[in-house]
Structure 1
Amino acid sequence: MKTTLSAKATRLNLKDFSSVPMRTFWITSVAFFLCFFAWFGIVPFMPDVVRDLGLTPTQKWNSVILAVSGTVFARLIIGKLCDKYGPRLCYTWLLLLGSIPVILCGLVQTPLQFLICRLFIGFIGASFVITQVHTSLMFASNIVGTANATSAGWGNLGGGANRLGMPLIAAAVVSFGVSELDAWRYSLIIAGIVCFLMGIVYFYFTKDTPEGNFSELKAQGKEIKGKKKDEVGFLEALKDYRVWILFVVYAACFGIELTVYGTMDDYLQNTFSLSRITAGNIVLSFALMNLFARTLGGYFGDKFGKLKGLRGRVLFLVAILLVEGVMLMTFSTITSLVLGIAFLIAFSLSVQMAEGATFSVVPFINKKAIGSISGIVGAGGNVGAFLAAMLLKSKSAVAEQAALAANSGAGEEVAKLAQSEAAAAAVSSGYFIIGILVFVAGITALAIRFSTADEKDAAADYTLTDTNNLNPANA
């Protein structure tokens, strides 16, 4: 999609709710938040689900794997669909159709039905890709990294907000006379209905670009986007080595954030002898850093882009990835709670900044295939989460089994303590290995290059946006 630069927003004016770019920014951020809220909505209720449906530990773990697997598939295809049909229709249908398995999850009666619903609920994780495509089409080069990072960060909050939000919904449901045993079911149904209603809002209150929808522009002769052109764009994205480097990079930041976020509760309890509530609050604060950390990554990506061109964006991405790797490696070796929290905060800040910095580079790889590239890179995050989780699971399982076998003749309390210590040590070594891999991914990102023509185009965009910023009407 090619839009004139003057039509795109050149500032992120959060008080503006009337212009097409800013209205779209707000709506897509809220839609993303609701999708992540629903995607991870079952997490606070898993003990209830296990008890109600009689899930085995294997079935419980498989439900997590299926949710991630569904997202990988959906992210790979949704980007291409955005290039062809526009983000407005794609988001509308994702919300409408994605609400169905969320609602059905509240009606399941068997473990198999639950696993199937978890697979299809994972599809709404593709909302991230559409969010990035839509903001990329709405904002000019000087601010696109900041806009992408802010919308993604605020949307990601949904994955942490459900720890508070879902129990509150359940409490409200119980106050109306619903049994506490069934509260989790009603909570999911409500979350699904809200997603469905958001799909209607998205259809009527957003546009594909500042100039109009894809279908309208095509009818006016301003947009010719035939099937053949779409296929060429997607194939070009697949063949571009830079896309696959960014795939690995996003696996090394967003994928690792998901894995660390999912395993940190137990790690903090086992390593620092914290209560479940205290550990949960620390992890929740980790998620809340998305309010500003991703935005910082996009902001500095834009600033380095202005100073050093597209190469500057890459260099900042490399630097923040190296910091992320070092912070995680250091955190994994710490046994002091105060130092541990300090380095966990530093890791949280750097990993989320790396995510924002990644998508300050993505829009410049190939402007004819922004959707396809966003989809491939976005899928990398979930692949990284899956692989990192499998690494930690395998190391922990072996260590715990060995600890239990070694203490089989001891009392139950002794055996549990040995198991906890073994799990903590295994996860610690796993974090260290992952930190090394993140560091390597950062060095690999140095291989991302741009042509002289691409650099000149980006520089020209900055010149034009600087001129447009002198006119408030263009903001």
Structure 2
Amino acid sequence: MATSFWSDEKTEGRSGFWASGHTPTLIAAFLYFDLAFMVWVLLGPLAPDIAKSLALTPTEKGLMVAVPTLAGALLRVVNGLLVDRIGPKRSGAISQMIVIGGMFSAWLLGVDSFIGTLVLGVILGFAGASFAIALPLASRWYPPEHQGKAMGLAGMGNSGTVLAALFAPTLAKLFGWNTVLGLACIPLSLVLVAYLILAKDAPNAPPPKSLGQYFTPLKQADAWWLMGFYAVTFGGFVGLAASLPIYFTDRFGLSTVTAGYCTAACVFAGSLVRPMGGALADKVGGIKTLSALFLVAAVALAGVGGAASVTAALVLFVIAMLALGTGNGAVFQLVPQRFSAELGVMTGLVGMAGGIGGFYLASSLGIAKQLTGSFQAGFLIFAALAVLALAGLTLVKNGWRRTWTAADGVRI
């Protein structure tokens, strides 16, 4: 008899994607990830208003939007450990409650200093760390041949950054930027309820390991390569998502609302293609996919530094985000092929590297602006990092294809 939509068991005898896993959990993972990412980058769209009210320097603005990224990066390791020890569902519920409580307190008490924005940034880091929970929550239900699509669909929750860019500037204009923190708690609470109802831990979770065993992957060079590649793809994506509102207002004098719309267009492009990146990697291989995308991203980011108009910058940012977003999905098609037994902790470690890449990009853009009066140096350096990633991938790809053992029909 066919398995029902709500069943915890995988459907037998059918190999289609939707029949191979647990759709309610996939939906829960997407919703959790989506709203978590919305608040993770919330300081970016609010940055022009916050900077004006608190008289922040360009470097302080850059650090303000970068701290949530760094905190999220470090906390992803913690969440990766929790996922493997207490399960992704409970880990996600705890993280969501911390974020809601922290944001509600910030709204109630107010944020009136640069140090206060940094403290808030650390709290928002718990939302960014959702990555290490949502992806294993969904992907453990799916077989290897569908890992790219499952992780891509769950990971498409990074589209929440679009919601922040679209609505935060307008709400700040109407009610004040501090009130936006309180308003965000409403959808976060609704998603928490849906998550508790829909999400279920997969029955094939690996047994808990000792603390030392969690870091065993770091003894292998492949783990560091995957972390480095994701530092470029996801780091570029989230770093731009947090920094573009500042870029568009400072570089071209756009209003915060218009800058939010421009940012939303760029972020939407990168979010939309993440599952496509996973599916493309499933079809042609993660290595081929990443190789092309690193090159496209490098060219687009290098070109942004010399963009003379809003239109030119917007086109180049969309191209860069399309490449980076697709690359995000491609990296996580490779991770479970190599580290299936350590997927929880590897998701945390690779995600941590991505967050560190985002912290570097966001903070370096602010520093470049203050030191040189332009964002160009920051973009050029990150473009160079994409070229280095391409060179590294070229160096290791033949060895990976010889030594990795992929499931039948899965391309590396």
How many percent identity over aligned positions? 23
Contact 2:71 2:126 in 1 (8 A): yes
Letter in 2 for 1:389: A
Query: 1:243 maps to what in 2?
Result: 223
User: Structure 1 stretches of 5 or more lacking a match?
Assistant: 175-179, 215-222, 305-311, 401-422, 463-475
Q: Contact between 1:10 and 1:142, CA under 8 Å: does it hold in 2? A: no
Matched, 1:364 2:337: yes
Structure 2 CA distance for partners of 1:92 and 1:8, relative to 1, 3 Å: farther
Q: Shift of residue 24 of structure 1?
A: 0.9
Q: Structure 1: which amino acid aligns with 2:35?
A: L
CA distance in 2 between partners of 1:185 and 1:330 (Å): 36
8 A contact 1:247–1:378 mirrored in 2: yes
Compute the RMSD of aligned alpha carbons.
3.3
Q: CA deviation at 1:67?
A: 1.8
**2:303 alignment partner, one of 320, 324, 330:** 330
Deviation at 1:321, TM superposition (A): 1.4
Change beyond 3 A, Cα 1:79–1:9: farther
2:376 is matched with 428
Tell me what 1:468 maps to: none
* Contact persistence 2:293–2:323 (CA under 8 A): yes
Contact 1:8 1:138 in 2 (8 A): no
Matched, 1:303 2:303: no
**Corresponding letter in the other structure for 1:352:** G
Q: CA deviation at 1:258?
A: 2.5
The equivalent residue for 2:199 is 206
Q: Any residues of structure 2 matched to 1:125-144 within 5 Å, and which?
A: 125-144=128-147
CA-CA distance at 1:163 after TM superposition = 2.8
Contact 1:134 1:208 in 2 (8 A): yes
1:147-186 equivalence runs, <5 A: 147-153=150-156, 155-166=157-168, 180=175, 183-186=176-179
Q: 1:203 deviation in Å? A: 2.9
Shift in CA distance, 41/11, structure 1 to aligned 2, threshold 3 Å: farther
**How far, CA to CA, are the matches of 2:389 and 2:311 in structure 1?**
29
Matched, 1:258 2:206: no
Q: Go from structure 1 to structure 2 and tell me whether the alpha carbon gap of 1:5 and 1:51 turns closer, same or farther (over 3 Å shift).
A: same
Any conservation in 1 of the 2:290–2:327 contact (CA below 8 Å)? yes
SS of corresponding position for 2:140: helix
Give the equivalent residue in structure 2 for 1:220.
none
In the alignment, is residue 282 of structure 1 matched against residue 242 of structure 2?
no
CA contact (8 A) 1:326 1:439 kept: no
The total of aligned residue pairs comes to 399
TM-score of the two chains, using structure 1 as the length reference: 0.74
Change in Cα spacing, 1:103 to 1:7, as seen in structure 2 (3 Å) is farther
Change (3 A) 1:170 1:303: same
Q: What residue number does 1:409 align with?
A: none
Describe how 1:296-445 pairs up with structure 2 within 5 A. 296-304=276-284, 312-335=285-308, 339-400=312-373, 423=374, 427-445=375-393
Corresponding residue to 2:407 among 458, 462, 471: 458
Question: What is the one-letter code of the residue matched to 1:162?
Answer: A
Quick check: 1:292 aligned with 2:272? yes
Q: Which residue of 2 aligns with 1:145?
A: 148
Establish whether residue 80 from structure 1 lines up as the match of residue 106 from structure 2.
Answer: no
CA distance in 2, matches of 1:49, 1:272: 19
Q: Distance in 2 between matches of 1:432 and 1:131?
A: 33
Q: 1:252/1:47 Cα in 2 relative to 1: closer, same or farther (>3 Å)?
A: closer
Q: Secondary structure at the match of 1:324?
A: helix
Q: TM-score, normalised by structure 2?
A: 0.84
Give the match's secondary structure for 1:459.
coil
What's the CA shift string for 1:317-372, capped at 9, x where partnerless?
22221222122223434446655544333222111111111111111121111011
- Checking the alignment, whether the CA contact within 8 Å between 1:105 and 1:118 is kept in structure 2 is no
Secondary structure of the corresponding residue to residue 201 of structure 2: coil
Q: 1:94 aligns to what SS in structure 2?
A: helix
Q: Read off the aligned partner of 2:215 and give its amino acid letter.
A: L
Q: Distance in 1 between matches of 2:326 and 2:125?
A: 24
Structure 2, unmatched stretches of 5+, are 1-7
Q: Which whole-Å deviations, capped at 9, do the CAs of 1:69-128 have from their partners, x for residues lacking one? A: 321220122112212221111111111122111111102344244432321221211111
Q: What SS does the aligned partner of 2:109 have?
A: coil
Larger radius of gyration: 1
Instruction: Give 1:307's aligned residue.
Output: none
- Deviation of 1:4 after TM superposition, in Å, equals 9.6
Q: Aligned partners of 1:197 and 1:93: how far apart in 2?
A: 15
CA distance in 2 between counterparts of 1:443 and 1:9 reads: 40
1:121–1:204 distance in 2 versus 1, CA, 3 Å: same
Q: Distance in 1 between matches of 2:304 and 2:13?
A: 42
The 8 Å contact of residues 103 and 193 in structure 1, kept in 2 or not, is answered as no
Shift of 1:460: 6.6
Aligned counterparts of 1:340 and 1:197: Cα–Cα separation in 2: 37
**Deviation readout 1:398-420 (Å, 9 max, x if unpaired):** 223xxxxxxxxxxxxxxxxxxxx
